[in-house]
Amino acid sequence: MGAVHEDEIEPRVRQLRKHVLGASDVEGHTRVVDSAGSARLANSALLVGVGRHRLMLRTGRGEDERARTCSRLQRAHSSLYVLLEPAESLPSQPPELLAAVEARRRAAQRLREGTGHERIIARIPKRRALITGVGGQDGSFLAELLLSQGYEVAGIVRRQPSVYASNLGAVLERIELVDADLLDRPSLNRALEETRPHEVFNLAAPSFVPRSWDEPVLTAEFAAVGVTSLLEAIRAVDPDIRFYQASSSEIFGRPLETPQTEETPLSPVTPYGVAKAYGHFIAHSYRDRYGLFACCGILYNHESIRRPLDFLPRKVARAAAAISLGLESTLRLGDLDARRDWGYAPDYVRAMWLMLQQDEPQDYIVASGESRSVRDLVACAFARVGLEFEPHVVSDPAFRRGVAELHDLVGDPNRAREVLGWTPSVAFEELVGILVDAELQSLSHGQAASSA
């Protein structure tokens, strides 16, 4: 490794620090009790640039000082960091950086231990997140995940809190519920000003695709106009907020390629898909024009017991359980050859969170990468209760989606796997088993209660 003369270290430190941090940030974000401590802190700020997330960072208002260039703007993102020993050097690091880090190692150690004065204390504030659609399947799982990560969580609601008790359960008392409406800009501004979130997850939209034909205007208002309204509120109140937009595989409609990637052209065929495509594009527009940190998660079908019963996997699981208990005899479905890419909802909300922890905003396909037919779903569910499905399942034309039926939606999750380190933890057969077992337990308890 090339040597660096001691006289060269200080100029290099100043030059690198100028790009990494900026001297004014040190004074603005750390409580320092004496000038000597301030000098040591300013010098050791260099350590920010080496071995990311493993060295010294201060927090004040939760902001880390890693600058990110995005569409002509310098941006910073809030993260939790503490003062640590410098990490092991990497072979790719330049010799001058290694030498400078070594020169600051002892200063960083003294800073941690104190030198006879009051110790410098870095307060690490909690991260704050605001979730629209917090009472739905995804919103409730996301709220639980964020709470487990130490976040303060707020959720936008339009109804009484008791409506959300079934999904939010025990965490309802730990969430701040804010009354606001995606179509009412002033209420969104107030919600952002009151909660001051670092991250906003927009999950609110009608999600039952067939119903979007019955209420196309309402669907467009919430899934398209509502996204724009929320982005405008973020731009007005705090452009540093990181924004997640819930896109959907329905934006691909009849795809031009299978499997779909983040670059596959959009071709929606339902009012829901068209509205989601608008939300997808408007998030891109605000990211490009205003430099907002906006990510779109293109999520394929993801299920749990928190889905309403009119969603197919839950409907099939409930019917299989009920038929096995002698409570029902027949299950009516549409096209048994229709295909979907199904996953488990808690896995997918984990991907949402990971997207907003990255250095740069991107869009991500979140999917299992496997195409399964409705017939596969039904066979697996009935096998779980020890039954053949054929005597009990009827294909009814009334339940078919007709020309809107989609057969080729299957996602390629490679980017999420490589960039986010995300992989689904629950496979298709396990997902179906989770749904059926939950329905068996629920129906069995209902039987026991009615006979008591």
Catalytic residue ranges: 248, 250, 272
Q: How far apart are CA 1 and CA 409, in angstroms?
A: 52
Classify residue 113 by burial, with Cβ atoms within 10 Å: 0-12, 13-18, 19+. Answer: exposed
> What percent of the chain is helix, strand and coil (3-state, nearest 5)?
50, 15, 40
Residues 6+ apart with CB under 8 A from 309: 315, 318
Classify residue 409 by burial, with Cβ atoms within 10 Å: 0-12, 13-18, 19+. Answer: buried
Nearest residue to 313 (alpha-carbon basis) of 135, 415, 438: 438
Query: CA angle at residue 141 from 140 to 147, to 5 degrees?
Result: 90
Question: What phi and psi, each to the nearest 5 degrees, are found at residue 211?
Answer: -70, -20
Residues 6+ apart with CB under 8 A from 162: none
Nearest residue to 313 (alpha-carbon basis) of 437, 148, 435, 139: 435
Q: How far apart are CA 102 and CA 434, in angstroms?
A: 53
User: What is residue 159's DSSP assignment?
Assistant: S
The continuous run of DSSP H or E covering 188 comes out as helix 185-195
Q: Is 303 helix (H, G, I), strand (E, B) or coil?
A: strand
CB 424 within 8 A of CB 344: yes
Q: How far apart are CA 135 and CA 204, in angstroms?
A: 9
